Structure 1
Amino acid sequence: MNRNTIRLLIILGTLSITGIIAVQAYWVKRAFDLKEQQFRQTVMISLRNVANKISSLYKLSSIENPVSQLSSDYYVANLRIPLDADVLEHYLKEEFKKQNLQTDFEYGIYDCDTDKIVDGAHINSDFEESTALKKTLPKTDKYLNYFGVRFPSKTSFLAARLDIWVISSLITLVVTAFFGYSMFVILRQKRLSEVQRDFINNMTHEFQTPISTIRVATDVLSQTKIMEQPERLKKYVHIIRQENNRLKNQVESVLNTARMERGKMELDIRLQELHSVIYDVTEGVKAELEDALSIELNATRTSIYADRIQLISLIRNLLENAIKYSGKKPCIRIKTENIADTLVFSISDNGVGIAKEHQSKIFNKFYRVPTGNTHNVKGFGLGLSYVREIVRAHKWAIKVDSEPNKGSTFSVIIKQEV
């Protein structure tokens, strides 16, 4: 599946899901508005019935429209006469039960002599428990004597009656989440496919080079006259040994990565002298680098607990990485120092450097800083990933300081036991 096809699928899928969500939101809003309208009508009818029953009780004529809505959850009804709170509460409960308005409500009776709502209570949805008003109900100048009723839980009451819409909305959310996850998996699989292709191409090239060199060297050694040229013989034997070690390191790099994936990195933790290990690793490259390698071992506390083989691999990987990216005139510095209770080991180079946006990704497996369609420096993209796993296994820390065209410094921070 090519990039354009995936992009088209994502765009079409996103538009489809967005459309479904928009339609769903529209109908949920319509359903809620309809429920709210039904609720308003039911409340208006109930309060009108209560007002007319009270009028009948006191032998007053009925009022055609005694109820007014002052806000979305607050209603007032004309009384015309003072009224006892117990009588009003009885009629309100009776009518709300009849109309199936099973929700909390608050009522209050306005007293024109004191200009206050003097009596009132908060009734729960079962119409059984009565408590004091949580806050004073608003007043109005519309009626001389009136009672007010507020529904503090109106929104939750209406939402509870949208069960089918809630279920359909949840289904829509699940579908949206599944779509998002599917797109994530598709993009991840595509990325993994690209990484796998690049890895195979790089590995093929990396293996072909030493194999070709060894084949040429063995062809030369197969000549009978080579025995008469001991210096030349020694040179080609050295080439074979060197390329063989190169192949060995490459195979070990791939195998170590496979072990890490299976969680089979076993450490033989022992007391090590870091400076001694550094000297052992750099001994083989000193002649090759000559004056390009600077070693500044300033640390005075150099004993650490580590797996010697993994520590050597860590130093070798960082050193080889510095050599590969240093360009034609390398300048590499290996430095150690004690900072507080830590031993800091760092390798610096004067190479191409790493941009900020790539520094958080260089320790990912197979990741290589993009350089267009070609890579001038060959490799698998496994070295720094392996370094990070070694650091994690030892519970150390690693950081990188780098700027493009100004080189890079990789520092390993080792906490020492006091």
Structure 2
Amino acid sequence: MTRNTIRLIIVLGSLAIAGILAVQIYWVKRAYDIESAKFRQTAIHALSEVANNISRVYELADIENPVEQLSSDYYVVNLRTPLDAEVLEHYLKLEFKEHDLNTDFEYGIYDCDTDEIRYGARVTANFVTNTEEPIVLPKTDKFLNYFAVKFPNSSEMLFKNLDFWILSSLITLLVMGFFVYAMVVILRQKRLSEVQRDFVNNMTHEFQTPISTIRVATDVLTQPKILDQPERLKKYVQIIRQENNRLKSQVETVLTTAKVGRGKLQLDVQMQELHSLINEVLEGVKAEHGEGLKLKLNADRTTIFADRVHLLSVIRNLVENAIKYSKKPFEITVETKNTQNGIILSVSDKGIGIPKEYLNKIFNKFYRVPTGNVHNVKGFGLGLNYVQQIVKAHKWTINVISEYGEGSTFSIHIPQEN
């Protein structure tokens, strides 16, 4: 699947999702407005019945349009006579049950002379009265004699009546979530496919180089005259040994990375002397690359607990990585120093450096900093990922400081307990 095809799918899918979401929001809002209007009509009708029932008790004529809505959940009801709280509560419960207004409400009776609330109570959705807390409701000057009713949980009741629309909205969001997840998976798979393709190409090239070198060296060694040239014989044997070690190191890196990915890496942690391991690595590096390596082994406490094989590979990876990305003659510094919390092992170079936008990606598996169409540096993109995984397995930490065009410094912090 090409990049343009994926981009077209994402754009069309995003437009479809936006359209579905807009339609869903429209219908949910419309359903809410309908339920709100229905609730308002039901409340006004029920309160009108309450007012007229009370009027009939006092043998008064019915009141036309006695209810006034002051807010979405607050109503006042006009009366022509002083009101008894028990009578009002009785008719409120009666009419609300009949009209299925099963929600909490508060009511208050006002004294027309003092304009103060004379009595108030809270009634639950189960029509149980609660008068423990004082009721304070807004006043109005619309009517001379009135009572007020407030529905504090009306919004919750309206949403309960929208259960179908809420369920359909959740299903829509679920479908949208699956679509987004599918797009993420497709993009990840495409990226993984590209990374794997680049990895196979790099691995083939990396393996072909030492294999070709070994084949040429063995062809030379098969010549009868080589036995009369011991220095030349020794040189080609050394070449075969170096290329064999390089192949072995590459294969071990790939296998170790695979083990780490499967969670099957096992460390053989024993007491080690850090400076001895550093010198062991640098002797081999100097033999292959010549001078240009500086040592600043300033740490006094250098005994640590670590896996010898993997720690040697970590140091070798960092040093060889610094050499790869340095212009000749290179200048690499390996430094150790003690801190209050442990030991710092750092490898610094004055190479090409790493742009800031790539610093948080260099430890990703198979990742290599983009260099355009120029590929002067060989590798699988596994070295730094391997280093990070081994550091994590030892419960150490690693960080990098780099300035593009000036160089990089990789530092491993080994805690005191290690």
TM-score by length of 1: 0.98
Q: In structure 2, what is the Cα distance between the partners aligned to 1:372 and 1:135?
A: 74
RMSD: 1.3
Q: Is the 8 A contact 2:47 2:67 kept in 1?
A: yes
Q: Is the 8 A contact 2:121 2:135 kept in 1?
A: no
Structure 2 unaligned residues grouped into runs of 5+:
none
* SS class of match (1:370): coil
**1:183 alignment partner in structure 2:** 183
Q: In structure 2, what is the Cα distance between the partners aligned to 1:134 and 1:384?
A: 70
**2:377 alignment partner in structure 1:** 377
**2:313 alignment partner in structure 1:** 313
Q: Following TM superposition, by how much is the alpha carbon of 1:287 offset from its aligned partner in structure 2, in angstroms?
A: 4.1
* SS class of match (1:414): strand
Mapping for residues 227-238 of structure 1, pairs under 5 Å: 227-238=227-238
**2:109 alignment partner in structure 1:** 109
**2:142 alignment partner in structure 1:** 142
**1:253 alignment partner in structure 2:** 253
Amino acid at match of 2:61: S
Mapping for residues 13-412 of structure 1, pairs under 5 Å: 13-132=13-132, 135-412=135-412
Q: Following TM superposition, by how much is the alpha carbon of 1:350 offset from its aligned partner in structure 2, in angstroms?
A: 0.8
Q: In structure 2, what is the Cα distance between the partners aligned to 1:270 and 1:253?
A: 21
Q: In structure 1, what is the Cα distance between the partners aligned to 2:352 and 2:92?
A: 82
Q: In structure 2, what is the Cα distance between the partners aligned to 1:138 and 1:409?
A: 70
Percent identity (aligned)? 66
Q: Following TM superposition, by how much is the alpha carbon of 1:315 offset from its aligned partner in structure 2, in angstroms?
A: 0.6
Q: Deviations over 1:104-133 (max 9, x none)?
A: 111011111221111110100011233345
Q: In structure 2, what is the Cα distance between the partners aligned to 1:289 and 1:377?
A: 15
Amino acid at match of 1:240: I
Amino acid at match of 2:125: S
Aligned residue-pair number? 418
Q: Is the 8 A contact 1:333 1:348 kept in 2?
A: yes
Q: Is the 8 A contact 1:108 1:120 kept in 2?
A: yes
TM-score by length of 2: 0.98
Q: Is the 8 A contact 1:106 1:133 kept in 2?
A: no
Amino acid at match of 1:84: D
Of the structure 1 ranges 208-217 and 182-191, higher mean CA displacement relative to structure 2 is found in 208-217
* SS class of match (1:399): strand
Q: Following TM superposition, by how much is the alpha carbon of 1:364 offset from its aligned partner in structure 2, in angstroms?
A: 1.1
Q: In structure 2, what is the Cα distance between the partners aligned to 1:129 and 1:372?
A: 77
Q: Following TM superposition, by how much is the alpha carbon of 1:62 offset from its aligned partner in structure 2, in angstroms?
A: 1.2
Q: Deviations over 1:296-340 (max 9, x none)?
A: 100001110111111111111111111111122210000000011
Q: Deviations over 1:226-254 (max 9, x none)?
A: 22222222221211111111111111111
* SS class of match (1:119): strand
Structure 1 unaligned residues grouped into runs of 5+:
none
Q: Following TM superposition, by how much is the alpha carbon of 1:359 offset from its aligned partner in structure 2, in angstroms?
A: 1.3
Q: Deviations over 1:68-107 (max 9, x none)?
A: 1100100011112111111100000000001010001110
Q: Deviations over 1:111-169 (max 9, x none)?
A: 11221111110100011233345641111111000000000000000100111111101
Q: Following TM superposition, by how much is the alpha carbon of 1:349 offset from its aligned partner in structure 2, in angstroms?
A: 0.6
Q: In structure 2, what is the Cα distance between the partners aligned to 1:263 and 1:137?
A: 66
Q: Is the 8 A contact 1:362 1:368 kept in 2?
A: yes
* SS class of match (2:379): coil
Q: In structure 2, what is the Cα distance between the partners aligned to 1:291 and 1:202?
A: 28
Q: In structure 1, what is the Cα distance between the partners aligned to 2:268 and 2:375?
A: 37
Q: Is the 8 A contact 1:353 1:405 kept in 2?
A: yes
Q: Is the 8 A contact 1:332 1:349 kept in 2?
A: yes
